[in-house]
Chain A
Amino acid sequence: MSSSTFRGLNPTMLEIELRRVLRNKRTAIFTLIMPVVLFEVFGSSQGTSDKVGDGNVTAYILISMAVYGAMLAATAAGASVSLERAAGWSRQLRLTPLAPAAYITAKVLSALVISATSVAVVYLVGTTSKAQMPTSTWFQTALLAWVCSMVFAAFGLFMGYLLPSENVMQALGPGLALMSFAGGLFIPLSQYNDVFRAIAKVTPVYGVGELARYPLVHDGRLAGAIVNVVTWTLVFGIGAAMRFRRDTARV
């Protein structure tokens, strides 16, 4: 890698990127408010004080909803390349010294910040709820939900390069909800039959959810979850990189 690989990367980029996210009401609702609302709906229903692992069902649901918010946030941050391509902004950037890899890096950094904000908001609301788990588990699960959501930053980038739409999140929002059901984020896998459970384990949301909840439940499916997260990160990352190379090639 030469010194010019990340040429042009700077804090102003990140600052303005974050301002844009906050300015966009739809993104703010999707990534900051919706996970909280879902947690309030599912997390306060009957039987949530039942014990799960080191904590209770409310804590289990809290982690799942934080994962969901982090996923949405990271996907939205990555998928914003779609809008920027449609607006001709990517082309405009080629008339500046900004290196293409620096642009992608800024997108990943902004995904990290927005996803961290989303997790923080859900967990803050969680502290006022009936959620119970050891203090260290609060931090471990939050950190895992945040870090693992980068699978979806890669997913968002890939989709952003793949789909030409200006409103790519309108398609990806429902898609992520479906993937969350498929991956056992909204409904525990124990409620599924054997066939659906087997399918769930190869879908991209499964690994993130399992990993983030592991410090709470310790249920021994760690290796499968790690393989799942790494594999999907590679699939989406390589897909995004291929589309990105095609997009920035001089023809």
Chain B
Amino acid sequence: MATTLTDTAIELSGVTKHYGEVHAVDGIDLTVRRGEILAFLGPNGAGKTTTIDMVLGLSVPTAGTVRVLGSKPEEAVANGLVSAVMQSGGLLKDLTVRETVRLTASFFPRPRPVEEVLARAGLADIGDRLVGKCSGGQQQRLRFAMALVPDPELIILDEPTTGMDVEGRREFWAAIREDAARGRTIVFATHYLDEADAYADRIVLVRRGRVVADGTSAEIKAMATGRQVRATLPGARVPDLQAIPGVESAEVRGDTILLQGRDSDMIARHLLTQTEAFDLEVTSQNLEEAFLALTGDGS
């Protein structure tokens, strides 16, 4: 890999992108260190693709600056320091898999050998297949192969497994994970929480063009997971409920009480042994709900 003098892969400062009245990106500050595997997680329309387009130099910010490996984005792209796997498109159906990689390699001054790239993306067996005859998963691995051609410092993947079946997703991530083990910086946008959880060192949660959470997978989960205990308890008062061990928040709706907390067993035991509560129900807030809690319009 080419060497650069910076330890920072991506630096966004005060980046905004407005399309008329729409604030697609509304002030993002973010530093991605080299060697990190970072998931850019958020619902559709959160500004993930807009941000990625600016990092790749495909569009320019309304305000703020974007630096990629110490250069302007378009320079980093031209020097083969950064490449990307886009969500869809970007392939010619009437070329074979090998021709597509050969053609891509012909644009770069010092490309990796075509056969090596095909092997790394798990495409060695289907090099002569027409792109139009490849499955969605195979096409996505071809996009990954094209991204590997310049042997970049940084690969950006925009929702790379959208529309893939379970097997396709598994094979795709196996190829990525093997590659990441070589120390490349990887940034991927996704709205699949399990992907962010399984493959990223760091998760940045975006909502409405802003970063709403930033941390390891464990830290993000701790921020938003928990269980809800629901019971009937006539005459309950919020301050009393909040005093119950393990309760983080409490709500009273008529005779029904709603208690949030991470240790639902402790809350339930207290309610059943120390109060008159009945009709007890424990529901878990899974990761998807946690994600929604952090990124949804209600938060």
A16 to B94, CA, bound (A): 10
Judge whether B90 and A97 touch: CB under 8 Å.
no
Is the beta-carbon distance between A250 and B90 smaller than 8 angstroms? no
Residues facing A in B39-77 (CB within 8 A) are 56-60, 74, 77
A19-27, A42-50, A182-190 - interface stretch: A19-27
Which residue of A19, A94, A97 is within 8 Å of B109 (Cβ)?
A97
B89 at the interface (CB under 8 A from A): yes
B188 to chain A, nearest CB (A): 16
Q: Is the CB of A20 within 8 A of B78?
A: no
> Does B88 lie at the interface of the complex (its beta carbon under 8 Å from any beta carbon of A)?
yes
Given the complex of chains A and B, what is the CA–CA distance between A92 and B58 in angstroms? 10
Within 8 A of A (CB), among B93-145: 93-95, 99, 102-109
Q: Which of B59, B83, B105 contacts A250 (CB 8 A)?
A: B59
Residue tally, chain B, CB below 8 Å to A: 31
Interface of A is mostly: loop
How far is B96's CA from A19's CA once the two chains are assembled, in angstroms?
A: 11
**A residues near B90, Cβ cutoff 8 Å:** 87-89, 91-92
Query: Complex: how many Å from CA A97 to CA B110?
Result: 11
Partner of A12, one of B78, B80, B102: B102
Q: Is the interface of B mostly helix, strand, loop or mixed?
A: loop
Q: Does B243 contact A (CB under 8 A)?
A: no
Quick check: is B236 within 8 A (CB to CB) of the other chain?
no
Residue picked from A12, A89, A95, A251, most chain B C-beta under 10 Å: A95
* Residue in chain A with minimal CB distance to B105: A12
Contact status of A94 and B93, CB under 8 A, knowing A13-B103, A16-B102, A16-B103: no
Tell me which residues across on chain A come within 8 A of B59, comparing CB atoms: 250-251
Q: CB distance B106 to A87 under 8 Å? A: no
A7 touches B78 (CB 8 A): yes
Q: How far is the CB of B94 from chain A (nearest CB, A)?
A: 5
Q: Does A8 touch B at the CB level, under 8 Å? A: yes
Interface string of B174-202 (1 = CB under 8 A from A): 00000000000000000000000000000
- What separation, in Å, do the CA atoms of A92 and B103 have in the docked complex? 12
Residues of chain A within 8 A (CB-CB) of B77 are 94-97
B57 cross-chain contacts in A, Cβ below 8 A: 94, 250
Residues in B with CB closer than 8 Å to A7 are 78
Q: Does B292 contact A (CB under 8 A)?
A: no
Binary contact readout A90-104 vs B (1 if CB under 8 angstroms, 0 otherwise): 011111111000000
- B86 is an interface residue with CB less than 8 A from chain A: yes
Given contacts A16-B95, A20-B92, A250-B57, contact A92 B78 (CB under 8 A): no
Which residues from chain B contact A93 at a C-beta distance below 8 Å?
Answer: 107
In the complex formed, the residue of B with least CB distance to A93 is B107
Cβ of A84 under 8 Å from chain B = yes
Q: Give min CB distance, A61 to chain B, whole Å.
A: 34
The reply to whether A88 and B88 form a contact with Cβ atoms under 8 Å apart is yes
Residues of chain B contacted by A20 (CB below 8 angstroms): 92, 94-95
| A167 contacts chain B at the CB level, 8 A cutoff | no
Cβ of A178 to closest chain B Cβ, rounded Å: 28
Complex-state Cα separation, A93 to B94, whole angstroms: 16
- Other-chain contact of A91, B89, B95, B99, B108 (Cβ < 8 Å): B89
B58 cross-chain contacts in A, Cβ below 8 A: 91, 94-95, 250
Q: Report chain A residues within 8 Å CB of B74.
A: 250
Given known pairs A7-B78, A95-B84, A250-B59, the reply for A89 and B106 (CB within 8 Å) is: no
In the assembled complex, which residues on chain B have CB atoms less than 8 Å from the CB atom of A13?
Answer: 103, 106-107
B9 is an interface residue with CB less than 8 A from chain A: no
Interface centre among A91, A92, A93 (most CB of B within 10 A): A92
Q: How far is the CA of A91 from the CA of B108 in the complex (A)?
A: 16
A selection of 20 A-B contacts at a CB cut-off of 8 Å is A8-B106, A13-B103, A13-B107, A16-B95, A23-B94, A84-B92, A88-B89, A88-B90, A88-B91, A89-B89, A89-B91, A91-B86, A95-B56, A95-B58, A95-B77, A96-B104, A250-B57, A250-B59, A250-B60, A251-B60
What residues of chain A have their CB less than 8 Å away from a CB belonging to chain B? 7-8, 10, 12-13, 16, 19-20, 23-24, 84, 87-89, 91-98, 250-251
Give 18 new A-B contacts, CB below 8 A, not counting A19-B99, A92-B89, A97-B79. A7-B78, A10-B106, A24-B94, A87-B90, A88-B89, A88-B91, A89-B91, A91-B86, A92-B146, A94-B57, A95-B56, A95-B77, A95-B84, A96-B77, A96-B104, A97-B78, A250-B60, A251-B59
